[in-house]
Amino acid sequence: MATCGAVPEAGGLDIDISEDAFPFEDFVPKELGCFSMDKDRKPHINNRNKLRYLYTPPTGQGCEYKLRDGYNTFQKLDDDLEERLDNIMKWISKNKLEAKKYKDDFKLQSLNTDFVSCRGHFTKIMCTPYVKEEWKMAVTLFDGTYYISEVATEEKKAYEKNMTDKEKEMGYWGYKFEQYRTSQVDGQEPDTNLPVNNSEAFYTVVRTDLKNHSLLYSAEVDCCETSNPDLQPPFNYVEIKTNKIGRNKYKFVHPFKLLKWWAQSYLLGIPKIIAGFRSEDSIVQQADVKPYLTCNIPKIANETRKLWNPDGCMNFCDKFLKFVKDVVRRDDPKVVYIFERIKGSKTVTYKEGAAGDIFVPDWYEVKMNQNKDCV
């Protein structure tokens, strides 16, 4: 039966905003590897087959992107599928040496890495000081590395269970716009008559440092751009987004939506976002496709009044990671701690996890324990 470590004296982490200057110049994501997910959600390690290319229609070609088209043939990812950190763990298990921070340490008993997670988890943590969104993260310390895996909240479960047909269809529109603006072959017009399948995807695996914390995480990539040969992954990757167009075709994105766009792209070093502004009847005109430079998003979002600050995002993430290190002390893959931010709360709380919260698979523990004494 699983056991849980002794938890330090109960307390919490205040969600405050520190806008002290963050050393952004030291935060440089480096791509270590990748994997492609096939239609059955099987990962193919160090395989780039599912990486798509940004497609830009010829100048003067009036395109109309109908986001509802093909919804009746949508091959949707199973909502009940819980992959947790399984896929990045599969990448690590096949790339132990590459995953290590210090290549001159040939002993494989440690990754020399503080945190392993997914980009989406860090995005939520970074945005916490400025949004009310709730979240729950499970954390396990194994061989000196903290693994952070999101746990679905009751609010999220209830929302997904009670989604209307319209809300479900709206979730499809973003994937359809991606199909219009990306191609499997560089420079080739995409075949938009094919069914959209959101099980297929390409993921990059990157390493970076956030102050004194070394991070290793995976992230789904929408597409890449090849127009500038000097840009190498992840700096040639591009995000594809959609947003509702305003009155008189005013292209406005809510500042807190821009916050999430910025955090998501910044964590990967993505320099550009392509946004399609859709009409009430879910149609995007080519004239309503707008590029955003990630570095300009904070200025755009805070043009009218200051609502969020990149320094506050990064400083809180640093504070949270320090808090995790203080709380999670027992190095054991069967020990889990649950960190939770209740909607609107000004505090992150933690508690001892239960057997059902364990997320490090036995196969991964076995793999990482193999050849521990090798030099």
Mind giving me the DSSP string for 198-209?
A: TT-EEEEEEEEE
Please check whether residue 249 lies inside any domain of the structure: yes
What type of residue sits at position 252?
Answer: F
Q: Residue 289: in which H helix or E strand, if any? A: strand 283-293
Task: Name the burial class of residue 373, with classes exposed (0-12), middle (13-18) and buried (19+) by CB atoms within 10 angstroms of its CB.
Answer: exposed
Please check whether residue 269 lies inside any domain of the structure: yes
Please check whether residue 5 lies inside any domain of the structure: no
Question: How far apart (Å, rounded) are the C-alpha atoms in residues 183 and 191?
Answer: 8
Are residues 206 and 268 in contact, defined by beta-carbon separation less than 8 angstroms? yes
Q: What's the pLDDT score for residue 10? A: 57
Q: What's the pLDDT score for residue 39? A: 94
Q: What's the pLDDT score for residue 2? A: 37
> Residue 273 forms beta bridges with which residues?
239, 292
Q: How distant, in Å, are the alpha carbons of 129, 136, 162, 345, 353 from that of 342?
A: 13, 8, 20, 5, 17
Task: Name the burial class of residue 201, with classes exposed (0-12), middle (13-18) and buried (19+) by CB atoms within 10 angstroms of its CB.
Answer: buried
Q: How distant, in Å, are the alpha carbons of 86, 113, 138, 332, 336 from that of 369?
A: 17, 16, 22, 12, 19
Please tell me the number of Cα atoms within 13 Å of 105 on its side-chain side.
13
Question: How far apart (Å, rounded) are the C-alpha atoms in residues 75 and 64?
Answer: 23
Q: What's the pLDDT score for residue 168? A: 95
Q: What's the pLDDT score for residue 334? A: 97
Question: How far apart (Å, rounded) are the C-alpha atoms in residues 131 and 345?
Answer: 10
Give the Cβ contact number of residue 260 at 10 Å: 19
The candidate with the shortest Cα–Cα distance to 126, out of 188, 193, 30, 217, is 217
Q: CA 148, 153, 155 angle in degrees (round to 5)?
A: 155
Please check whether residue 198 lies inside any domain of the structure: yes
Please check whether residue 131 lies inside any domain of the structure: yes
Q: What's the pLDDT score for residue 79? A: 81
Q: What's the pLDDT score for residue 304? A: 85
Q: Number of structural domains, the chain?
A: 1
Domain limits at 360? 12-369
Please check whether residue 7 lies inside any domain of the structure: no
Tens digits of pLDDT across the chain (375 residues): 334 444 444 579 999 999 999 999 999 999 999 999 999 999 999 999 999 999 999 876 778 999 999 999 999 998 888 899 999 999 999 998 888 766 555 555 678 899 999 999 999 999 999 999 999 999 999 999 999 999 999 999 999 999 999 999 999 999 999 999 999 999 999 999 999 999 999 999 999 999 999 999 999 999 999 999 999 999 999 999 999 998 777 789 999 999 999 999 999 999 999 999 999 999 999 999 999 999 999 999 999 889 999 999 999 999 999 999 999 999 999 999 999 999 999 999 999 999 999 999 999 999 998 856 543
Give the Cβ contact number of residue 6 at 10 Å: 8
Residue that the structure tokens 């090798």 belong to: 374
SS3 state of residue 282? coil
| Complete edge-to-edge strand list for the sheet that includes strand 182-183 | 64-66, 283-293, 272-278, 237-244, 223-224, 53-54, 182-183
Q: What's the pLDDT score for residue 105? A: 52
